[in-house]
Amino acid sequence: MFFYIARRLLFLPLTLFGISLIIFFMFMRLSPEQRVALYITSPERLRGDNVERLIDLHGLRDPWHIQYGRWMGNVVRGNLGWSNVGKEPVYSAIMRRFPYTLELALYSALPIIWLGTWLGTLSALYHNRPLDHTLRISAVVGWSFPDFVFGFFVLMIFYSILGWFPPGTLGAEADAVVKSSQFRSFTGMVTIDSLLNGRLDVFIDTARRLAGPVLTLTYVGFAYILRIARSSMLEVLGREYIRTARSKGLEEKVVINKHARRNAMIPVATVSGQTIIALLGGTVIVETIFNRVGIGSFMATAAQQLDFASVIGGSLFFGVILVLGNLLVDVSYALIDPRVRLD
C-alpha cells in the first residue's frame, strides 16, 4: 500500500507538468493581440501604440519557450502570477475562493448520496414494479435536466415567488459580521465558522443562499448514485447467501438491513467519493447563475477573458485536488473492502 501511494504521488508532478503544457499550448494558438485583450477592455484604450506597449510589457510576443520558461521560473519561485480576473495574485485568488466551492460541494454531496442510496435501495426492493419505474424515470429526468435550466427554475420559484433563497454567497450585513474582528475564521467555510462563532444569523443568511444551488445540484445529480445503489443492491439480493438467509426464514427487514444493504453499500461508497470530487469541478454553471463566489465561476470567467495565469493556475489546482482526491478514495476503498488490492 505504501508503495502504491508513493508511486501515485510521484506521478503528481508529472501530471501537473502535463496539464500546464496542455493549457499553455492552447493559449499559444492565440495571437498576442487576442491575449492582450484582457488589458484593453474598451476602445478608448486603443490609442496610438498602446496595444504594442502592452504586448511588450507582458512579453506576449516572445517565443513560446521563453514565455513558458518565464512562467515556469515564477512557479518554481512560488509565484503563480497575477490574476487579472481575480484582481489579486493567482494563488490567493484560488485559495480565497476554494472554501466556498468546497462548502457547496460538501453540502450538495450529502443529499445526493443520501437520496440516491435510499431511493436506489427502494428501487431495487421493488424491482420492476411501478415504484421502481417511477423512481428510475424521475431520476433520469433529473439527470437529463441541464443545471442552468433547473437552476433558473429554482431561482424563479424560491427567490422571485417565495423569496426564500436569495442568490449570492453572503448578504452585505452578514458579510460585515464575518469581516469584523470578533469573528474568527476556522475553516473558511461560513456555515461552520458562523456556528463556531455562535452567530446564528450569519448561518441562516449563508444557509439560505446555499439552499438553491444545493437543490439544483441534488436534483440533477442524484440519479447516478441511485443507479449504482440500485444495481448493486439487486446484485447482492441475487446472491447465494441472501437467498439462504431468506430460505432460513429470517425476517425480511433483517435480511435487507443487516446483510444486503451493508454489502451493497461498498460500491456506493466509492462512487460517493468520486461524486464529491466531481462536484468540486462541476459547480461552474450553478455558481454562475446563483452568483456565488467560488472556483468554478472564477475559472469560467478567467477562461472567457483568456486570463492565462488564472486558467493555468486554476487547472493545476484542480489537478492536485483530483489526483489527491482520487487517491484518497482508492485508498479508503481498499480499507473498507478487503477484496480490493491496490497495485
Site for other proteins in 223-242 (CB under 8 A): 227, 231, 234-235, 237-238
Chain positions 171 to 190 lying near other proteins, rule: CB under 8 A, are 171-173, 175, 179
Q: Cell numbers 417565495 label which residue? A: 162
Residue 56 sits in the site that holds other proteins (CB under 8 A): yes
Inter-CA distances, 300 with 19, 210, 272, 343, Å: 17, 20, 25, 36
3-state secondary structure of 62: coil
CA-wise closest residue to 267 among 236, 238, 237: 236
Q: Among 4, 5, 24, 37, which residue interacts with other proteins (rule: CB under 8 A)? A: 37
Closest to other proteins by CB, 5 or 175: 175
**Among 4, 152, 183, 333, which residue interacts with other proteins (rule: CB under 8 A)?**
152
> Using the rule CB under 8 A, which residue among 1, 73, 129, 146 binds other proteins?
146
Q: How far is the CB of 266 from other proteins (least distance, A)?
A: 14
Amino acid at position 153, single letter: F
Q: For residues 140 and 219, is the Cβ–Cβ distance under 8 A? A: no
- Window 203-222: residues binding other proteins (CB under 8 A): 204-205, 207-208, 211
Instruction: Based on the shown chain and the rule CB under 8 A, indicate whether residue 98 belongs to the binding site for other proteins.
Output: no
- Binding flag, residue 339, other proteins (CB under 8 A): no
Question: Which region among 60-68, 147-155, 245-253, 334-342 touches other proteins (by CB under 8 A)?
Answer: 147-155
User: Does residue 133 interact with other proteins by CB under 8 A?
Assistant: yes
Least distance to other proteins from the beta carbon of 337, Å? 16
Among 131, 189, 196, 323, binds other proteins (CB under 8 A): 323
In the complex, minimum distance from the CB of residue 171 to other proteins, in angstroms, rounded to a whole number: 7
**Residue 180, number of CB atoms within 10 A of its CB:** 9
Q: Closest CB to other proteins among 106 and 231? A: 231
Q: Helix (H, G, I), strand (E, B), or coil: what is residue 77?
A: coil
Options 93, 109, 112, 119; binder of other proteins; rule CB under 8 A: 93
Residue 6 binds to other proteins (criterion: CB under 8 A): no
Interface pick for other proteins out of 131, 250, 266, 303 (rule CB under 8 A): 303
Stretch that binds other proteins, among 34-42, 72-80, 268-276, 331-339 (CB under 8 A): 34-42
Instruction: Among 2, 14, 180, 248, indicate the residue that binds other proteins (CB under 8 A).
Output: 14
The angle that helices 64-76 and 2-28 make with each other, rounded to 10 degrees, is: 140
Q: Is 55 left (phi over 0), alpha (psi -120 to 50) or beta?
A: alpha
47 binding other proteins? (CB under 8 A): yes
Task: For residue 9, state whether it binds other proteins (rule: CB under 8 A).
Answer: no
The closest alpha carbon to 100, from 329, 328, 286, belongs to 286
Residue of 163, 198, 249, 338 interacting with other proteins (CB under 8 A): 163
Q: Does 319 bind other proteins (CB under 8 A)?
A: yes
- 255-281 burial, b at 16+ Cβ within 10 Å, e below that, comes to bbeebbbebbbbbbbbbbbebbbbbbb
Q: Measured between alpha carbons, how far is 107 from 105 in angstroms, rounded to an integer?
A: 6
Least separation, in Å, of the C-beta of 195 and other proteins? Answer: 12
* C-alpha grid cell, residue 181: 474582528
Q: How far apart are CA 33 and CA 158, in angstroms?
A: 44
Q: Would you count residue 165 as binding other proteins (CB under 8 A)?
A: yes
| Residue 189 DSSP one-character state | -
What element of type H or E holds 88? Answer: strand 88-89
